[in-house]
């Protein structure tokens, strides 16, 4: 049986890849898709990197695996958030399940892998893994020193630099674009060279997985140079240079994918998947500003209108500052991060034991949702929020109480800002890229159908497929299913999948629960609700 190779392409979308394959900018990817199957891959809601990759790795949805955002609520009633880490992943992953079954794995650049789990093989974490700590993220101990001996090893360019990450989201000066794109060209090559080195081991890996995230970064910042529908008709010399550099990135990535497939040996099963899709985006909705206007959120320093400058920003570097910016005696709803596009309801005031009655809570949710759906763009009157989903609808599972109470879907992939502002909506002068729910799935291998376009798959279907490919039992408690339609007729009869009950490796620690009432605190809660007009 050949190896299983998983190539993650963060944020990849057929909107971008199809024209590149058609024009032979990515000839290998085109041939791979033609020799296998392809399908749109529906991600979880919201389409966001940490929970989405975790869903791919576990075959479960966020309420079941416990990861909702880059930052995690400490407890259901806490206003504090901590940096999401592997300790927040409450379900077994493809890495741990394969290891338990005696398989050897290589997992490179996937998020939520720090501190590194003790798998049978190698882990170099990705996501928000700062380069200064990369040594601590490598498994097994000693791996970092082995990698350090590689001529191309440069942790500063391999792992996260927060300032560079911010540029993808908040934008950067025109003269910085070229260097920034070239950094991602080098970065993907560095990850490839690590795989190449690890594959020289005598003991070969059964599952080789590497994630490339330059796709996400470039699409955020350079969407208007990547999507043919948005490219300038008559580009300036600078625009032409950026268009060419973006195209070169995808061309080089194609060569890396080709070399990886060749490197893993004969007859591999190759799976390419993205955590979410991408599309153009222009509007930024200042969500906390709206909540403040409606009286749901109160800043501790009153009316200090320290509004951001005119350039729209989502508040990337301001995440979780709500803890000391808000007046917790008066605030009942807030957005902690722009990424989750979510609103948390304060059901219990800071230091209080009194919880908002369920009936009031539900009325508050309905009122906020209705208000959000009624927001109109100030210039053309179109709705900005197309849907508002309740926590119980999209995050059902043992960890749902850690998720936002409400999650927004913005029109045209709009972004949320958590910054203070006297303006509710700002429009970026040039469209950028933002996440969409429809990602990509391509698979190719000895038992995979040839040239088939499948109906949409779910991101949680990828884990069962990978486990089947590895001949590891597929847990029955996964939300995903084994996509039988991807395989040649008779393959599943020839090699029937093995199943297990599941749950045996999960860290079942549901969040803390409920309430104790006290008359003084009850009065405090009532006074807050009175101020908002909820009780007489």
Binding site for another protein (CB under 8 A): 74, 78, 80-83, 85, 87, 114-115, 128-130, 132-136, 144, 148, 155, 160, 162, 320-321, 323-324
Q: Which element (helix H / strand E) includes 492?
A: helix 491-494
Least distance to another protein from the beta carbon of 90, Å? 14
Q: Which is nearer to another protein, 133 or 282 (CB)?
A: 133
How far apart (Å, rounded) are the C-alpha atoms in residues 179 and 221?
13
Q: Which lies closer to another protein via its Cβ, residue 310 or residue 324? A: 324
Helices (H) and strands (E) in the chain, counts: 19, 20
Whether residue 46 has a cis bond before it, omega within 30° of 0: yes
CB 232 to another protein: min, Å:
35
In this complex, which beta carbon is closest to another protein, that of residue 319 or of residue 365?
Answer: 319
Q: How far is the CB of 324 from another protein (least distance, A)?
A: 4
* CB closer to another protein, 134 vs 291: 134
Taking Cα atoms as reference points, which of 240, 272, 244 lies closest to residue 256?
Answer: 272
Tokens coding 246: 């973006």
Rounded least distance, CB 137 to another protein, Å: 9
Which tokens go with 466? 């990978």
Q: How far is the CB of 89 from another protein (least distance, A)?
A: 13
Q: Nearer to another protein by C-beta: 155 or 383? A: 155
Q: Residue 146 Cβ, how far from another protein at the closest point, in Å?
A: 14
Cβ of residue 145: shortest distance to another protein, in angstroms? 10
User: Which residue reads 């097994």 in tokens?
Assistant: 140
Q: Which is nearer to another protein, 113 or 465 (CB)?
A: 113
Provide the greatest CA pair distance for the chain. 74
Query: By C-alpha distance, which of 197, 212, 204, 211 is closest to 105?
Result: 204
Concatenating the DSSP letter of every residue in 388-452 gives: EEEHHHHS-STTGGGS-SEEEEEGGG-EEE-S--S-SEEEEEEEEEEEESEEEEEEESTTB-SSE
Q: Closer to another protein by CB, 322 or 449: give it.
A: 322
Nearest distance from C-beta of residue 215 to another protein, angstroms = 22
Q: Tell me the C-alpha distance between 289 and 237, whole Å.
A: 39
Residue 159: CB minimum distance to another protein, A: 10
Q: How far apart are CA 102 and CA 115, in angstroms?
A: 22
- The residues, any chain, with a CB within 8 Å of residue 524's CB and separated by 6 or more, are 329, 349, 352, 354
Measure the CA angle with vertex 60, ends 254 and 43; round to 5°.
45
Nearer to another protein, 144 or 499 (CB): 144
Question: What's the closest the beta carbon of residue 281 comes to another protein, in angstroms?
Answer: 25
> How many degrees, rounded to 5, is the angle at CA 450 between CA 447 and CA 453?
115
Question: According to the 3-state scheme, what is the secondary structure of 196-213?
Answer: HHHCCCCCCCCEEEEEEC
Strands (DSSP E) contained in 84-156 are 105-108, 121-124
* Torsion, CA 498, CA 504, CA 505, CA 509, rounded to 10: 140
Residue among 304 and 520 whose Cβ is closer to another protein: 304
CB 515 within 8 A of CB 355: yes
For the bound state, the minimum distance from the C-beta of residue 74 to another protein, rounded and expressed in Å, comes to: 6
Nearer to another protein, 166 or 411 (CB): 166
Q: Which is nearer to another protein, 26 or 160 (CB)?
A: 160
If we measure between CA atoms, which residue out of 261, 165, 184 comes closest to residue 226?
184
């Amino acid at each position: 049986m050949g190896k299983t190779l998983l190539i993650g392409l963060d944020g990849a979308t057929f909107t971008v890849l199809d024209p590149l394959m058609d024009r032979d900018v990515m000839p290998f990817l085109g041939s791979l898709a033609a020799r296998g199957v392809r399908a749109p891959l529906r991600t979880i809601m919201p389409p966001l990197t940490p929970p989405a990759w975790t869903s791919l790795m576990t075959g479960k949805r966020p309420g079941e695996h416990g990861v909702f955002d880059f930052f995690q609520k400490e407890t259901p009633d806490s206003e504090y958030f901590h940096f999401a880490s592997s300790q927040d992943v409450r379900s077994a992953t493809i890495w741990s399940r394969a290891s338990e079954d005696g398989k050897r794995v290589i997992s490179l650049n996937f998020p939520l892998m720090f501190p590194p789990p003790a798998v049978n093989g190698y882990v170099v974490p990705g996501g928000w893994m700062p380069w200064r700590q990369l040594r601590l993220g490598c498994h097994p101990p000693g791996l970092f020193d082995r990698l350090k001996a590689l001529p191309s090893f440069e942790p500063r360019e391999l792992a996260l630099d927060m300032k560079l990450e911010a540029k993808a989201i908040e934008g950067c000066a025109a003269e910085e674009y070229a260097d920034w794109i070239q950094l991602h060209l080098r970065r993907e090559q560095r990850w490839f060279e690590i795989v190449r080195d690890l594959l020289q081991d005598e003991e070969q890996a059964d599952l080789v997985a590497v994630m490339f995230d330059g796709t996400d970064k470039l699409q955020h910042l350079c969407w208007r140079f990547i999507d043919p529908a948005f490219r300038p008709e008559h580009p300036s010399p600078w625009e032409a240079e950026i268009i060419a550099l973006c195209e070169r990135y995808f061309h080089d990535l194609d060569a890396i994918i080709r070399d990886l497939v060749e490197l893993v040996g004969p007859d591999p099963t190759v799976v390419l998947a993205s955590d979410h899709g991408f599309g153009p985006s222009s509007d930024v909705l200042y969500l906390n500003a709206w909540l403040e206007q409606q009286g749901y959120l109160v800043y501790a320093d009153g009316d200090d209108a320290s509004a951001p400058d005119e350039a729209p920003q989502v508040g990337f570097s301001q995440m979780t500052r709500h803890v000391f910016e808000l007046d917790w005696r008066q605030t009942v709803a807030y957005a902690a991060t722009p990424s989750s596009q979510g609103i948390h309801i304060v059901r219990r005031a800071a230091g209080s034991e009194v919880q908002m009655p369920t009936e009031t809570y539900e009325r508050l949710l309905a009122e906020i949702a209705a208000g959000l759906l009624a927001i109109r763009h100030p210039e053309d009157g179109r709705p900005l929020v197309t849907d508002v989903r309740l926590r119980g609808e999209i995050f059902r599972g043992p960890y749902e109480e850690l998720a936002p109470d409400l999650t927004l879907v913005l029109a045209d992939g709009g972004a949320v800002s958590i910054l203070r502002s006297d303006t509710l909506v700002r429009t970026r002068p040039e469209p950028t890229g933002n996440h969409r729910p429809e990602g990509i799935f391509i698979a190719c291998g000895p038992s995979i159908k040839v040239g088939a376009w499948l109906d949409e798959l779910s991101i949680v279907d990828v884990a069962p497929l990978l486990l089947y490919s590895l001949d590891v039992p597929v847990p029955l408690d996964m939300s995903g299913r084994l996509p039988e339609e991807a395989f040649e007729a008779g393959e599943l009869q020839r090699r029937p999948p093995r199943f297990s009950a599941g749950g045996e490796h999960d860290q079942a620690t549901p969040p803390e629960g409920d309430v104790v009432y006290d008359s003084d605190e009850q009065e405090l809660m009532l006074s807050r609700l009175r101020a908002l007009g909820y009780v007489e």
